[in-house]
Structure 1
Amino acid sequence: MAGRPYASGARHWLVSLVVAGVAAAAVTTVARSGGHYHWWAGFVLIPGALIGAAGGPLLARGGGRAFAGYVIACAGALVFATGALLMFGVMGRGWPVMIMVPCLAVAGTYLWRPAHPLARGLHRVVALLALTGVLLGATFQLIEAGLVDFGDTGWWGAFLMLAGVTVLGNAVELTRHRMPYRLQAITLLLGPAVVAFLLGLRFLRGW
Protein backbone atom coordinates (compact mmCIF):
# COMPACT_ATOMS: atom_id res chain seq x y z
CA MET A 1 0.00 0.00 0.00
CA ALA A 2 2.80 2.41 0.91
CA GLY A 3 4.47 1.92 -2.43
CA ARG A 4 1.42 2.81 -4.50
CA PRO A 5 1.90 6.62 -4.46
CA TYR A 6 5.50 6.18 -5.60
CA ALA A 7 4.45 3.74 -8.32
CA SER A 8 1.76 6.14 -9.50
CA GLY A 9 4.22 9.03 -9.54
CA ALA A 10 6.75 6.98 -11.49
CA ARG A 11 4.06 6.05 -14.01
CA HIS A 12 3.14 9.71 -14.50
CA TRP A 13 6.78 10.61 -15.06
CA LEU A 14 7.19 7.74 -17.51
CA VAL A 15 4.13 8.76 -19.53
CA SER A 16 5.23 12.41 -19.60
CA LEU A 17 8.73 11.52 -20.76
CA VAL A 18 7.39 9.16 -23.43
CA VAL A 19 5.06 11.87 -24.76
CA ALA A 20 7.92 14.38 -24.77
CA GLY A 21 10.21 11.95 -26.55
CA VAL A 22 7.62 11.07 -29.18
CA ALA A 23 6.87 14.75 -29.82
CA ALA A 24 10.55 15.65 -30.20
CA ALA A 25 11.19 12.63 -32.43
CA ALA A 26 8.17 13.43 -34.61
CA VAL A 27 9.25 17.03 -35.17
CA THR A 28 12.82 15.97 -35.92
CA THR A 29 11.72 13.25 -38.35
CA VAL A 30 9.35 15.52 -40.26
CA ALA A 31 11.97 18.29 -40.43
CA ARG A 32 14.61 15.91 -41.78
CA SER A 33 12.29 14.39 -44.35
CA GLY A 34 11.21 17.83 -45.53
CA GLY A 35 14.74 18.97 -46.26
CA HIS A 36 14.62 21.90 -43.84
CA TYR A 37 16.40 20.28 -40.91
CA HIS A 38 18.42 22.55 -38.61
CA TRP A 39 20.04 20.17 -36.13
CA TRP A 40 21.13 22.89 -33.72
CA ALA A 41 17.48 23.69 -32.96
CA GLY A 42 17.43 20.43 -31.03
CA PHE A 43 19.16 22.30 -28.21
CA VAL A 44 15.94 24.30 -27.88
CA LEU A 45 13.43 21.62 -28.86
CA ILE A 46 14.56 18.87 -26.48
CA PRO A 47 14.81 21.07 -23.35
CA GLY A 48 11.36 22.41 -24.16
CA ALA A 49 10.00 18.87 -24.34
CA LEU A 50 11.64 17.98 -21.02
CA ILE A 51 10.34 21.12 -19.32
CA GLY A 52 6.84 20.31 -20.52
CA ALA A 53 7.24 16.73 -19.31
CA ALA A 54 8.18 18.00 -15.85
CA GLY A 55 4.76 19.60 -15.54
CA GLY A 56 2.87 16.42 -16.41
CA PRO A 57 3.22 14.59 -13.07
CA LEU A 58 2.13 17.69 -11.13
CA LEU A 59 -0.90 18.08 -13.37
CA ALA A 60 -1.80 14.44 -12.85
CA ARG A 61 -1.66 14.79 -9.06
CA GLY A 62 -4.33 17.48 -9.07
CA GLY A 63 -4.95 19.77 -6.15
CA GLY A 64 -2.83 22.83 -5.55
CA ARG A 65 0.14 21.40 -7.42
CA ALA A 66 -1.82 21.05 -10.65
CA PHE A 67 -1.63 24.77 -11.40
CA ALA A 68 2.15 24.76 -10.92
CA GLY A 69 2.32 21.78 -13.25
CA TYR A 70 0.21 23.65 -15.79
CA VAL A 71 2.53 26.66 -15.71
CA ILE A 72 5.58 24.44 -16.16
CA ALA A 73 3.92 22.51 -19.01
CA CYS A 74 2.96 25.75 -20.76
CA ALA A 75 6.49 27.11 -20.42
CA GLY A 76 7.78 23.89 -21.93
CA ALA A 77 5.26 24.10 -24.76
CA LEU A 78 6.42 27.62 -25.60
CA VAL A 79 10.08 26.58 -25.66
CA PHE A 80 9.19 23.47 -27.67
CA ALA A 81 7.23 25.51 -30.22
CA THR A 82 10.18 27.88 -30.58
CA GLY A 83 12.50 24.94 -31.16
CA ALA A 84 10.14 23.43 -33.73
CA LEU A 85 9.94 26.68 -35.69
CA LEU A 86 13.72 26.99 -35.64
CA MET A 87 14.21 23.37 -36.67
CA PHE A 88 11.92 23.82 -39.68
CA GLY A 89 13.51 27.19 -40.44
CA VAL A 90 10.16 28.95 -40.57
CA MET A 91 10.45 31.44 -37.74
CA GLY A 92 10.11 34.27 -40.25
CA ARG A 93 6.71 32.94 -41.35
CA GLY A 94 5.61 31.13 -38.22
CA TRP A 95 6.16 33.88 -35.65
CA PRO A 96 2.38 34.22 -35.00
CA VAL A 97 2.64 30.90 -33.15
CA MET A 98 4.56 32.86 -30.52
CA ILE A 99 1.38 34.86 -30.00
CA MET A 100 -1.02 31.93 -30.00
CA VAL A 101 0.79 29.59 -27.60
CA PRO A 102 1.12 32.05 -24.66
CA CYS A 103 -2.44 33.28 -25.19
CA LEU A 104 -3.73 29.70 -25.12
CA ALA A 105 -1.79 29.15 -21.91
CA VAL A 106 -3.38 32.19 -20.27
CA ALA A 107 -6.84 31.20 -21.48
CA GLY A 108 -6.36 27.74 -20.00
CA THR A 109 -5.88 29.16 -16.51
CA TYR A 110 -9.66 29.60 -16.37
CA LEU A 111 -9.77 25.95 -15.32
CA TRP A 112 -8.58 27.27 -11.94
CA ARG A 113 -11.05 30.14 -11.76
CA PRO A 114 -11.62 31.65 -8.29
CA ALA A 115 -14.78 30.98 -6.32
CA HIS A 116 -15.53 34.63 -5.56
CA PRO A 117 -17.78 36.18 -8.26
CA LEU A 118 -15.71 39.36 -8.58
CA ALA A 119 -12.37 37.57 -8.89
CA ARG A 120 -13.95 35.00 -11.20
CA GLY A 121 -15.38 37.73 -13.42
CA LEU A 122 -12.07 39.55 -13.73
CA HIS A 123 -10.29 36.27 -14.40
CA ARG A 124 -12.85 35.46 -17.09
CA VAL A 125 -12.10 38.81 -18.76
CA VAL A 126 -8.40 37.96 -18.91
CA ALA A 127 -9.07 34.44 -20.23
CA LEU A 128 -11.44 35.65 -22.95
CA LEU A 129 -9.07 38.43 -23.97
CA ALA A 130 -6.40 35.76 -24.28
CA LEU A 131 -8.69 33.84 -26.64
CA THR A 132 -9.01 37.03 -28.66
CA GLY A 133 -5.21 37.06 -28.80
CA VAL A 134 -5.29 33.51 -30.15
CA LEU A 135 -7.64 34.61 -32.93
CA LEU A 136 -5.37 37.56 -33.67
CA GLY A 137 -2.35 35.27 -33.90
CA ALA A 138 -4.24 32.87 -36.15
CA THR A 139 -5.16 35.76 -38.43
CA PHE A 140 -1.53 36.87 -38.61
CA GLN A 141 -0.60 33.29 -39.51
CA LEU A 142 -3.15 33.19 -42.32
CA ILE A 143 -1.74 36.46 -43.65
CA GLU A 144 1.83 35.16 -43.46
CA ALA A 145 0.76 32.00 -45.30
CA GLY A 146 -0.83 34.10 -48.04
CA LEU A 147 -4.27 32.62 -47.46
CA VAL A 148 -5.95 35.94 -46.70
CA ASP A 149 -5.19 39.52 -47.66
CA PHE A 150 -6.98 42.44 -46.07
CA GLY A 151 -5.12 45.03 -48.11
CA ASP A 152 -4.74 48.45 -46.53
CA THR A 153 -7.77 48.13 -44.27
CA GLY A 154 -7.32 48.48 -40.54
CA TRP A 155 -8.52 44.93 -39.98
CA TRP A 156 -6.97 44.73 -36.52
CA GLY A 157 -9.67 47.13 -35.40
CA ALA A 158 -12.11 44.22 -35.47
CA PHE A 159 -10.10 42.53 -32.72
CA LEU A 160 -10.12 45.70 -30.64
CA MET A 161 -13.89 45.80 -31.04
CA LEU A 162 -14.13 42.13 -30.07
CA ALA A 163 -12.03 42.81 -26.97
CA GLY A 164 -14.32 45.70 -26.08
CA VAL A 165 -17.44 43.56 -26.48
CA THR A 166 -15.83 40.83 -24.36
CA VAL A 167 -15.07 43.21 -21.51
CA LEU A 168 -18.51 44.81 -21.79
CA GLY A 169 -20.23 41.43 -21.67
CA ASN A 170 -18.38 40.51 -18.50
CA ALA A 171 -19.31 43.84 -16.95
CA VAL A 172 -22.97 43.09 -17.65
CA GLU A 173 -22.57 39.60 -16.19
CA LEU A 174 -21.31 41.07 -12.91
CA THR A 175 -24.63 42.86 -12.43
CA ARG A 176 -26.20 39.48 -11.55
CA HIS A 177 -24.17 39.19 -8.35
CA ARG A 178 -24.71 40.99 -5.06
CA MET A 179 -21.26 41.63 -3.65
CA PRO A 180 -19.05 44.41 -2.30
CA TYR A 181 -17.35 46.68 -4.84
CA ARG A 182 -19.65 45.47 -7.61
CA LEU A 183 -20.31 48.99 -8.92
CA GLN A 184 -16.62 49.88 -8.88
CA ALA A 185 -15.73 46.70 -10.77
CA ILE A 186 -18.40 47.30 -13.40
CA THR A 187 -17.24 50.89 -13.87
CA LEU A 188 -13.64 49.71 -14.14
CA LEU A 189 -14.63 47.37 -16.97
CA LEU A 190 -17.02 49.68 -18.80
CA GLY A 191 -14.48 52.44 -19.45
CA PRO A 192 -11.85 50.33 -21.24
CA ALA A 193 -14.59 48.40 -23.06
CA VAL A 194 -16.05 51.53 -24.63
CA VAL A 195 -12.63 52.98 -25.47
CA ALA A 196 -11.46 49.71 -27.07
CA PHE A 197 -14.65 49.38 -29.11
CA LEU A 198 -14.52 52.95 -30.41
CA LEU A 199 -10.81 52.73 -31.22
CA GLY A 200 -11.40 49.48 -33.06
CA LEU A 201 -14.24 51.03 -35.02
CA ARG A 202 -12.03 53.99 -35.90
CA PHE A 203 -9.25 51.75 -37.22
CA LEU A 204 -11.67 49.50 -39.07
CA ARG A 205 -13.48 52.35 -40.76
CA GLY A 206 -10.30 54.34 -41.38
CA TRP A 207 -11.57 57.48 -39.65
Structure 2
Amino acid sequence: METKRQIQRGWLAGLGAAALATGAATAAAQSSGRFHWWAGFILVPGALIAAAGGPLLARGGGRAFGGYVVAGIGAIVFTVGALLMLGLMGDGWPLLVVLPCLAVAGTYGWRPDHPLARGLHRTVALLAVTGAGVGVTLGLIVTGLVDAGDTGWWGGFMMLAAAVVFANALELGRHRMPYRLQAVTLFVGPSVVAFLLGLRFLRGW
Protein backbone atom coordinates (compact mmCIF):
# COMPACT_ATOMS: atom_id res chain seq x y z
CA MET A 1 0.00 0.00 0.00
CA GLU A 2 2.83 2.38 0.85
CA THR A 3 4.45 1.73 -2.53
CA LYS A 4 1.19 2.58 -4.29
CA ARG A 5 0.97 5.86 -2.37
CA GLN A 6 4.57 6.65 -3.26
CA ILE A 7 3.85 6.10 -6.95
CA GLN A 8 0.73 8.29 -6.75
CA ARG A 9 2.64 11.05 -4.97
CA GLY A 10 5.41 10.80 -7.54
CA TRP A 11 2.96 11.14 -10.43
CA LEU A 12 1.20 14.08 -8.81
CA ALA A 13 4.47 15.87 -8.09
CA GLY A 14 5.87 15.16 -11.55
CA LEU A 15 2.74 16.17 -13.44
CA GLY A 16 2.31 19.27 -11.28
CA ALA A 17 5.87 20.39 -11.93
CA ALA A 18 5.47 19.64 -15.64
CA ALA A 19 2.26 21.68 -15.85
CA LEU A 20 3.82 24.64 -14.03
CA ALA A 21 6.95 24.58 -16.22
CA THR A 22 4.92 24.30 -19.42
CA GLY A 23 2.61 27.13 -18.38
CA ALA A 24 5.53 29.35 -17.41
CA ALA A 25 7.38 28.76 -20.70
CA THR A 26 4.22 29.37 -22.75
CA ALA A 27 3.35 32.56 -20.85
CA ALA A 28 6.90 33.87 -21.21
CA ALA A 29 6.88 33.19 -24.95
CA GLN A 30 3.51 34.89 -25.46
CA SER A 31 4.51 37.96 -23.46
CA SER A 32 7.78 38.30 -25.37
CA GLY A 33 5.98 38.50 -28.72
CA ARG A 34 8.06 35.60 -30.10
CA PHE A 35 5.61 32.78 -29.45
CA HIS A 36 6.32 29.79 -31.71
CA TRP A 37 3.36 27.52 -31.00
CA TRP A 38 4.76 24.57 -32.93
CA ALA A 39 7.52 24.18 -30.35
CA GLY A 40 4.83 22.82 -28.05
CA PHE A 41 5.17 19.50 -29.87
CA ILE A 42 8.64 19.30 -28.29
CA LEU A 43 7.95 21.16 -25.05
CA VAL A 44 4.96 19.10 -23.87
CA PRO A 45 6.47 15.63 -24.55
CA GLY A 46 9.63 16.75 -22.78
CA ALA A 47 7.59 17.81 -19.75
CA LEU A 48 5.72 14.49 -19.72
CA ILE A 49 8.94 12.49 -20.01
CA ALA A 50 10.37 14.40 -17.06
CA ALA A 51 7.15 13.80 -15.09
CA ALA A 52 7.44 10.06 -15.76
CA GLY A 53 10.59 10.04 -13.64
CA GLY A 54 8.62 11.24 -10.61
CA PRO A 55 7.18 7.86 -9.52
CA LEU A 56 10.57 6.19 -9.71
CA LEU A 57 12.22 9.00 -7.75
CA ALA A 58 9.49 8.76 -5.10
CA ARG A 59 10.07 5.03 -4.60
CA GLY A 60 13.75 5.54 -3.84
CA GLY A 61 16.39 2.84 -3.86
CA GLY A 62 17.75 1.56 -7.15
CA ARG A 63 14.67 2.79 -9.03
CA ALA A 64 15.48 6.38 -8.05
CA PHE A 65 18.53 6.32 -10.30
CA GLY A 66 16.35 5.29 -13.26
CA GLY A 67 13.90 8.04 -12.36
CA TYR A 68 16.72 10.54 -12.28
CA VAL A 69 17.83 9.48 -15.78
CA VAL A 70 14.28 9.71 -17.17
CA ALA A 71 13.67 13.10 -15.54
CA GLY A 72 17.03 14.37 -16.84
CA ILE A 73 16.27 13.32 -20.42
CA GLY A 74 12.85 14.94 -20.19
CA ALA A 75 14.33 18.16 -18.84
CA ILE A 76 16.75 18.36 -21.77
CA VAL A 77 13.96 17.79 -24.32
CA PHE A 78 11.83 20.38 -22.49
CA THR A 79 14.66 22.91 -22.63
CA VAL A 80 14.99 22.43 -26.39
CA GLY A 81 11.28 23.08 -26.74
CA ALA A 82 11.40 26.14 -24.49
CA LEU A 83 14.31 27.68 -26.40
CA LEU A 84 12.51 27.12 -29.70
CA MET A 85 9.22 28.46 -28.37
CA LEU A 86 10.94 31.61 -27.07
CA GLY A 87 13.05 32.00 -30.21
CA LEU A 88 16.23 31.90 -28.14
CA MET A 89 18.03 28.95 -29.69
CA GLY A 90 20.63 31.25 -31.23
CA ASP A 91 21.79 32.52 -27.82
CA GLY A 92 20.57 29.71 -25.59
CA TRP A 93 22.11 26.66 -27.25
CA PRO A 94 24.98 26.49 -24.69
CA LEU A 95 22.32 25.29 -22.23
CA LEU A 96 22.25 22.09 -24.26
CA VAL A 97 25.88 21.62 -23.27
CA VAL A 98 25.38 22.56 -19.63
CA LEU A 99 22.28 20.48 -18.83
CA PRO A 100 23.52 17.04 -19.96
CA CYS A 101 26.79 17.64 -18.13
CA LEU A 102 24.96 18.63 -14.95
CA ALA A 103 22.76 15.55 -15.28
CA VAL A 104 25.84 13.32 -15.34
CA ALA A 105 27.53 15.30 -12.56
CA GLY A 106 24.42 14.82 -10.44
CA THR A 107 25.15 11.09 -10.23
CA TYR A 108 28.33 11.77 -8.26
CA GLY A 109 26.77 10.36 -5.09
CA TRP A 110 26.37 6.92 -6.66
CA ARG A 111 29.05 4.63 -5.20
CA PRO A 112 29.73 1.29 -6.94
CA ASP A 113 31.27 -1.36 -4.71
CA HIS A 114 34.38 -2.07 -6.78
CA PRO A 115 37.14 0.57 -6.38
CA LEU A 116 37.86 0.66 -10.12
CA ALA A 117 34.20 1.17 -11.05
CA ARG A 118 33.91 3.78 -8.30
CA GLY A 119 36.99 5.61 -9.57
CA LEU A 120 35.79 5.56 -13.18
CA HIS A 121 32.38 6.88 -12.23
CA ARG A 122 33.83 9.60 -10.02
CA THR A 123 36.13 10.66 -12.85
CA VAL A 124 33.25 10.85 -15.35
CA ALA A 125 31.10 12.85 -12.92
CA LEU A 126 33.87 15.37 -12.24
CA LEU A 127 34.66 15.63 -15.95
CA ALA A 128 30.98 16.45 -16.46
CA VAL A 129 31.38 19.38 -14.07
CA THR A 130 34.23 20.59 -16.26
CA GLY A 131 32.01 20.17 -19.31
CA ALA A 132 29.33 22.27 -17.63
CA GLY A 133 31.95 24.96 -17.14
CA VAL A 134 32.65 24.87 -20.88
CA GLY A 135 28.94 25.33 -21.57
CA VAL A 136 28.67 28.26 -19.17
CA THR A 137 31.69 29.91 -20.78
CA LEU A 138 30.19 29.39 -24.23
CA GLY A 139 26.99 31.01 -23.00
CA LEU A 140 28.87 34.05 -21.71
CA ILE A 141 30.70 34.38 -25.02
CA VAL A 142 27.59 33.92 -27.17
CA THR A 143 25.62 36.51 -25.21
CA GLY A 144 28.50 38.98 -25.39
CA LEU A 145 29.07 39.15 -21.63
CA VAL A 146 32.63 37.89 -22.09
CA ASP A 147 34.99 38.63 -24.97
CA ALA A 148 37.39 35.73 -25.33
CA GLY A 149 39.16 37.30 -28.29
CA ASP A 150 41.64 35.01 -29.97
CA THR A 151 42.62 33.18 -26.79
CA GLY A 152 42.43 29.40 -26.71
CA TRP A 153 40.33 29.51 -23.55
CA TRP A 154 39.23 25.90 -23.98
CA GLY A 155 42.81 24.88 -23.24
CA GLY A 156 42.26 25.82 -19.61
CA PHE A 157 39.35 23.40 -19.38
CA MET A 158 41.45 20.69 -21.01
CA MET A 159 44.09 21.22 -18.34
CA LEU A 160 41.43 21.12 -15.62
CA ALA A 161 40.03 17.86 -17.03
CA ALA A 162 43.53 16.41 -17.15
CA ALA A 163 44.06 17.37 -13.51
CA VAL A 164 40.80 15.63 -12.56
CA VAL A 165 41.85 12.41 -14.30
CA PHE A 166 45.36 12.56 -12.79
CA ALA A 167 44.00 13.10 -9.25
CA ASN A 168 41.66 10.13 -9.63
CA ALA A 169 44.58 8.03 -10.87
CA LEU A 170 46.45 8.82 -7.66
CA GLU A 171 43.37 7.90 -5.63
CA LEU A 172 43.07 4.56 -7.45
CA GLY A 173 46.68 3.81 -6.56
CA ARG A 174 45.73 3.60 -2.88
CA HIS A 175 43.52 0.55 -3.36
CA ARG A 176 44.80 -3.01 -3.26
CA MET A 177 43.22 -4.57 -6.32
CA PRO A 178 44.27 -6.59 -9.36
CA TYR A 179 45.53 -4.57 -12.33
CA ARG A 180 46.05 -1.52 -10.15
CA LEU A 181 49.21 -0.48 -11.99
CA GLN A 182 47.56 -0.88 -15.39
CA ALA A 183 44.54 1.17 -14.30
CA VAL A 184 46.69 3.99 -12.96
CA THR A 185 48.79 4.01 -16.13
CA LEU A 186 45.68 4.20 -18.31
CA PHE A 187 44.56 7.22 -16.33
CA VAL A 188 47.88 9.02 -16.09
CA GLY A 189 48.93 8.68 -19.75
CA PRO A 190 45.94 10.46 -21.34
CA SER A 191 45.86 13.05 -18.56
CA VAL A 192 49.44 14.12 -19.23
CA VAL A 193 48.82 14.35 -22.99
CA ALA A 194 45.59 16.32 -22.44
CA PHE A 195 47.32 18.69 -20.01
CA LEU A 196 50.13 19.45 -22.46
CA LEU A 197 47.66 19.97 -25.33
CA GLY A 198 45.56 22.27 -23.16
CA LEU A 199 48.65 24.27 -22.25
CA ARG A 200 49.55 24.54 -25.91
CA PHE A 201 46.08 25.85 -26.85
CA LEU A 202 45.97 28.23 -23.91
CA ARG A 203 49.39 29.70 -24.56
CA GLY A 204 48.92 29.73 -28.36
CA TRP A 205 52.09 27.73 -29.04
With the length of structure 1 as denominator, give the TM-score of the two structures: 0.95
Residue in structure 1 matched with residue 154 of structure 2 by the alignment: 156
1:8-157 matches, cutoff 5 A: 8-157=6-155
> What 5-or-longer segments of structure 1 have no aligned partner?
none
The CA distance in 1 between the partners of 2:141 and 2:16, in whole Å, is 35
With the length of structure 2 as denominator, give the TM-score of the two structures: 0.96
| Number of aligned residues | 205
The sequence identity of aligned pairs, in percent, is 67
Residue type of the partner of 1:129?
Answer: L
SS at match of 2:108: helix
Residue in structure 1 matched with residue 174 of structure 2 by the alignment: 176
Residue in structure 1 matched with residue 193 of structure 2 by the alignment: 195
SS at match of 1:180: coil
Displaced runs of 4 or more, over 3 A: none
Quote the offset at 1:20 in angstroms.
Answer: 0.6
The CA distance in 2 between the partners of 1:205 and 1:107, in whole Å, is 29
Quote the offset at 1:118 in angstroms.
Answer: 1.3
SS at match of 2:153: coil
Quote the offset at 1:180 in angstroms.
Answer: 1.5
Equivalent residues of 2:9, 2:58 under 8 A apart: no
Residue type of the partner of 1:32?
Answer: Q
Tell me the C-alpha RMSD between the 2 structures.
Answer: 1.1
Quote the offset at 1:138 in angstroms.
Answer: 0.3
Deviations 1:10-30 (A, max 9, x none): 122111100110011011111
Residue type of the partner of 2:163?
Answer: V
The CA distance in 2 between the partners of 1:45 and 1:156, in whole Å, is 32
Quote the offset at 1:43 in angstroms.
Answer: 0.9
**Deviates most, 141-150 or 28-37:** 28-37
